[in-house]
Amino acid sequence: MELVYLLRSLPPTKILGDDFNCVLSQADCTGNMNYSKTLDKLVCGLEPTDVWATAHPRAIYTHYTPQGAARLDRLYVSSSLSNRKTCVETVMAAFTDHLAVSLHITLDVPLLR
């Protein structure tokens, strides 16, 4: 809960991403579920939007093992950015055993010539 308190003072536009090594529901994994009460409290406290929430009708996983698959790598955005999302996808990355999560958003910035 301290992290939620500390992060509330940041600007309203936030992107929070990490390899959390845990899941919030059985839909995020196959096999054994490594549920995290701490991540659940963080998500409830900050009220971010999960970028996968409406992106795909089927389960997407970012880490595969012989025992199963899980969506351990997550990206959350503030509500001010959620409607600016244009695409979210997983990408193979040679430097890790996880799939990288790529988020594309649009921003209103002046075009410099």
Specify the pLDDT at position 79.
85
DSSP for the chain, please give it: -HHHHHHTTS-S--EEEEE-S-BSSGGGBSSS--B-HHHHHHHHHH-PEETTTTT-SS---SEEETTEEE--EEEEE-HHHHTTEEEEEEE--TTSSBPEEEEEE----PPP-
- What band does 46 get if pLDDT is binned at 50, 70 and 90? confident
Q: What is the pLDDT of residues 3-34, one digit of tens each?
A: 777 777 767 788 888 888 999 988 889 988 89
Q: 2-105 is classed in which CATH architecture?
A: 4-Layer Sandwich (3.60)
Specify the pLDDT at position 80.
83
Residue 107 has pLDDT above 90, yes or no: no
